[in-house]
Chains A and B, each alone.
Chain A
């Protein structure tokens, strides 16, 4: 299996390659069809609209009070014995985590699933400092063994099928080649148990951080999250600043929405609420717990009333599962940490529109993503907004705004606009276009790659109607 480096700049080529790869298309099609059905069925008994409304409200309330809640979270975490760190960007967050590791003389880190750590390339950073970072979520572990990045935020190895996984485990860890999923799972369990025991530090993400109580909530099925946050002597949690919620009760509806939207489960196996390091007399749990709050572009999204909705996201992945583009090209094609619709509205803020200009256009604007989003993010509107920003017609407050502005295109639309608002010119123009139709170009850029070039009729509709009326009258 070839291991490739994907970039958002090469979106079109990568999409082309993925569309021509029956393996990728088959793997995603099968997985996403199943996920869509499961999600639909699991909400059967629920007043889904009311629940989504509540979810959206809770997230909006948290964002409305964000700076106060972050301070409250900090104070309560500190009161609980959790050490707090703030990072303006990914590099700073990596440095903070490396320094905590170095202060403990750590050589090995075991990691639970954390998209923020992917966003800041934590593993590479730690490895450069001579600290080994091993993923413990089975999907992440497989992807790491295969020297890839996750292709989905909930199911990191969804692009791989059973045979491919069997090959990876065989090649990298020496297990037997098999299609027996239980055997492969047991092998990974064996390989990772040793590593949990020997790891110096556990790193995890956070699903919700509760300001009221200073609680870090973790949602998972495998138990690797619990292992990571319980077994090693140090636990470092890392999260984006937007993950805070005001009250503990707020997590009940969000958790209900998250599990059902993500994989169609009514609940996950574990819901883990961490409040403090090991207290005196307790028998297990880490001696130190740290929380690293990462901004990395989030506070600039926060400035704009419309863009702000992006920060409501609870990272369920439902928008990907339902996106006709994502389900056909797969997650790697986007070349970014977060793929699919959420990635297309989030990544431009992290990497700038120069690098990500094709992502907001990688959508049919069918609206499916907005319809399934459990916190009602108007994703299609945000995609349109970013398209405008890219061509220089938004507010200009997104990094790299205007990068796609094309002078010829602007001039063409300007003259179109002028013609369409001046009836005389319009009539004259269409008449000439009809006469000169043989001189029209056969292609109109990429637009005509998959479309037939429209040909102006010899006689315009206006002229036909006029003639028709005259014939009737005479």
Chain B
């Protein structure tokens, strides 16, 4: 008999007989009833508490804000997608600047070393955010692949203020995650960190050292 069958048979022929499954009431993880402003305030409070940086901007001048971030952080090579409107706008606006735009919409094998060693920052869109924990949610795509938010030392995420929801449970339910999971779904709450050396916090151990969230209103 295969290991699979042996294990399943042992579980099915349980000595103490069948088990009853209790019902689950999820009320405790939903129904926060926060207003738009409360959501925003909570999101910002939590994500800054774990070293995330939040910059607010109006929808129509966010590219100016981005330019300021780029120069303040001395970013010379920025990796980004091409198709997502966020990336497309950046390309239009910053094509003429000194900033080198690095394409992320190509097979990583061709530019792995460049990504690991030369790119200063990765820019991504996000699908939304979670107020309760200060988390961004991303479903990486062909255009904005998984490593874009992971490998470069700075991750710049562009978030629309209207897309912040209350809890993780709400996001999973409202967007029907279980019917359409992508290859990889992600929650990101702050830059990479560790406390493995005597509980002292250090940022950027494997992933980004800095996470900048540009919140568009």
Contact = CB atoms under 8 A, between A and B. Distances in A.
Interface string B190-217: 1111111111101011111000000000
A57 B23 CA distance: 7
A255 B183 contact: no
Interface in A37-62: 46-47, 50-51, 54, 57-58, 60-61
A63 to B, nearest CB: 7
A271 B186 contact: yes
A57 B24 contact: yes
Contacts of B50: 265, 267, 269
A189 B204 contact: yes
Nearest to B189: A267
Contact of B26 (A54, A92, A281, A308): A54
Contacts of A249: 26, 169, 172-173, 178
A256 interface: yes
A189 B205 contact: yes
A324 interface: no
B189 A185 contact: no
A6 interface: no
B16 A305 contact: yes
B107 to A, nearest CB: 5
A465 to B, nearest CB: 49
Contacts of B150: 223, 226-227, 230
A252 B178 contact: no
B7 interface: yes
B118 to A, nearest CB: 13
A139 B196 contact: yes
Contact of A299 (B7, B134, B181): B7
Nearest to A278: B183
A138 B196 contact: yes
Interface stretch (B33-41, B57-65, B85-93, B139-147): B139-147
A137 B3 contact: no
Interface stretch (A7-15, A282-290, A416-424): A282-290
B187 A54 contact: no
Contacts of B178: 212-213, 247-249
Interface residues of B, number: 76
Contacts of B142: 281-283
A192 interface: yes
A381 to B, nearest CB: 16
Contacts of A278: 183
A250 interface: yes
Interface string A234-264: 0000000100000111111101100000010
B169 A271 contact: no
A34 B204 contact: no
Contacts of A230: 146-147, 150, 184
A88 B188 contact: no
A193 B194 contact: no
A283 B107 contact: yes
A342 B85 CA distance: 50
Given A165-B198, A185-B194, A284-B146, A51 B16 contact: no
Contacts of B6: 88
Contacts of A92: 3
A60 B197 contact: no
Contacts of B135: 267, 271
B2 interface: yes
Nearest to A157: B196
Task: Tell which of A157, A193, A252, A279 has the most Cβ of chain B within 10 Å.
Answer: A252
Interface of A: 27, 30-31, 34, 46-47, 50-51, 54, 57-58, 60-61, 63-67, 70-71, 74, 86-88, 92, 136-139, 142, 155-158, 160-162, 165, 181-182, 184-186, 188-189, 192-193, 196-197, 212-213, 215, 221-224, 226-227, 230-231, 241, 247-253, 255-256, 263, 265-279, 281-285, 293, 295, 299-300, 302-305, 308, 397
Interface of B: 2-4, 6-8, 10-12, 14-16, 18-29, 46, 49-50, 104-108, 112-113, 116, 133-135, 142, 145-147, 150, 167-169, 172-173, 177-178, 181-200, 202, 204-208
17 contacts: A61-B21, A142-B197, A165-B197, A192-B206, A196-B206, A223-B206, A224-B206, A230-B147, A247-B178, A252-B26, A267-B133, A268-B189, A273-B184, A283-B107, A284-B108, A299-B7, A299-B10
> Can you list the 6 inter-chain pairs with the closest CB atoms, starting with the nearest?
A223-B207, A139-B196, A267-B133, A64-B21, A64-B19, A252-B169
